[in-house]
Chains A and B, each alone.
Chain A
Amino acid sequence: MKLKNTLSIFLFFTAIGVVTQVDAQCKRFTQKNCLPALSPYTNNGQINSTTLYEGDSASMNMTFYSLLEYRLMVCTHPILGEGAFFRVKDDDGEILYSSEGKSPNYWDFRVNSTQDLRIDVVIPEDQERVTDMPPSGCVSIVLGFKE
C-alpha cells in the first residue's frame, strides 16, 4: 500500500511536469510559427492551443464582430502530417468554409452581423502509418483582426 501511494504521488507530480513541458513547447511553437503569419492583422491576445493525436479533433466557438475583418489561422505541428484541416460552421451547422484540400492554413473573412461561429479542427489518421502509436503534436487556433 505504501509503495502504491508513493508511486501515485510520484506519477502525479511527474504528470504535472509533463503537462507544463508540453504547454511550454506549444507556446513556443505558436509564438514562432503562427503569430508572425497573422500580420497585418492584430492578434486578439488569446491562446487557444492544445495537443492532439492523429485521429483527434478539437472545436471552438468564437464570437466575431461585424465591423472587423478577421484572419483565422490553424497551425498544426508538422509531426501531425499535412492532412490537418479546419471547418467553420454557423450556429445552424452550415459549413461556411473548409480548408480541406487547400494549402493556406488561414482564412480571411468578415461576418454580416456579429455572431458565433464554430471552428472544428480535424487531424485525420494516417492510414499508411506503420507504427502502432499515433503521433501527437501542438495545434493552435489563432485569430487576428483589423478594421
Chain B
Amino acid sequence: MIKSFRVLGILSISALVLLSCADENTNKNTDSIEENVTDEINISRSDKVQYQRAKIVLFSLPSPMETAKVLKKSGAIYDSKYLNPVENLDKHITSKGKAIVMGIYVADLSYANVFKQQQACMDYFSAMSKLADALSLSEVFTQDLIEKIDENISDEDSVLQYLAESYWRANSELKADDRESVAGLIAAGGWIEGLYIATHLADPEKMDDPVTERIAEQGATLKQLIKFLSSFRDDKNLLDIISDLETLEKLFDKIDVERVRVEPNIDEGGVAVVGKKKVYKFTGTLLKDIIDQTIIIRNKYV
C-alpha cells in the first residue's frame, strides 16, 4: 500500500511539474520539460517499472490518398456515380455515423483529386469541413487552410498536400483528445469506400485485371484495420463495424496467395526494392462474393 502511494505521489508530482512548465511557457520544447522532471525527481528503476509500458504496439493503414493513387495507376477511370453524394451528409446524426462518413468523403475526395475533378474536390472539402465541426475537430479546417485550398484547388499536388495535412490534423487532434476510436471509424470509412470504388472498377470475369489484384491486396489491410478497431473493444460504437469487416475477412481469407521470395535489388532510380512477390487467385464466385459483400457493407454506412 505504501509503495502504491509512493508511486502515485511521484506521478502526481511529475504531473504538477509538467503542467506548471507547460503553463509558464507553452512554447518551450520538450527537452526542457523532460529535463526538469528528471532533475527534480529521483525515481528508482524499480519504481519506474511500475508505470512504464512494456512493448508499444502501434497500428497504421494505407491512407485513402494512397489507395486512390494506386487505383489510378492500375487503370481505373473516374465515375462520380460510385461516390457518396455530399447531399447524404445530413442523413447522419450520430458521431459514429459522422466519423464513418468523414472517412468515406476522404476516400471520395482522394479519388476525385487524382482525376483532377475540381468541383467534386471543393464539394468534398466543404462536406469534410462541416463534419470536422460536428466532430469538434477545431484544428483541422482552419481559416488559413480553407483559404489555401480555395486558391490552389486546380493543382492536384496541392490538393493532395492539403488533404494529407487535414487528415493528419484530424488524427493528431483525436489522439490528443483521447478519441482514437473516432480516428478508427474514420479510417474504416475510408477503407470501405476505397474498396467499394475498386469493386465497381473491376471486371469480375477478368482475373488478370490489375484492379482485381488491387482488391485482393486489400486482405492484408483489412486484417490491420480489424486489429486496430479491436484495440478499442470497449467502445460499443465499433462492434457492428468490426463484425461487418470480419464477415468480409472470411471471404478474403479464401483467396489463394502464392508467395515467391525475391532477392532485394535497386531500381533505376537508386531506390531499394524489397519483399516477396505475391500472386493472387480467386476461385469460383469468390471475387463476386467479395464485391457483393462490400456493396452491402458500404451502403449500410453512407
Contacts and interface: CB of A to CB of B under 8 A. Distances in A.
Contacts, number: 221
A23 B44 contact: no
Interface in B28-50: 29-31, 33-35, 38, 41-45, 48
B171 A47 contact: yes
A78 B161 CA distance: 28
Contact of A114 (B63, B178, B217): B217
Interface in B215-240: 217, 220-221, 223-224, 227
A18 B19 contact: yes
Chain B's interface size range is 35 or more
Nearest to A92: B276
Nearest to B44: A132
Contact of B66 (A20, A24, A65): A65
Given A14-B12, A18-B14, A133 B42 contact: yes
A113 interface: yes
Contacts of A27: 172, 175-176
A68 B70 contact: yes
A73 interface: no
B220 A63 contact: yes
Contacts of A91: 276
A30 B160 CA distance: 20
**Secondary structure dominating the interface of A:** mixed
B22 interface: yes
A133 B65 CA distance: 42
Interface in A101-128: 107-117
B251 interface: no
Contact of A42 (B11, B164, B267): B164
Contacts of A116: 220, 223-224
Contact of B69 (A30, A58, A67): A67
Given A46-B171, A57-B56, A79-B30, A133 B48 contact: yes
A25 B33 contact: yes
Contact of B56 (A18, A52, A88): A52
A109 B56 contact: no
Contacts of B214: 114
A89 to B, nearest CB: 10
Contacts of B168: 35, 43, 45-47
30 contacts: A7-B8, A11-B11, A11-B15, A15-B15, A21-B22, A27-B176, A35-B168, A46-B171, A47-B171, A48-B58, A49-B175, A58-B55, A58-B56, A60-B58, A61-B59, A62-B61, A63-B220, A65-B67, A65-B217, A69-B271, A79-B34, A79-B35, A110-B271, A111-B275, A113-B276, A114-B278, A116-B223, A131-B42, A135-B34, A145-B69
Given A20-B176, A133-B44, 5 more contacts: A49-B175, A63-B62, A66-B217, A109-B273, A133-B38
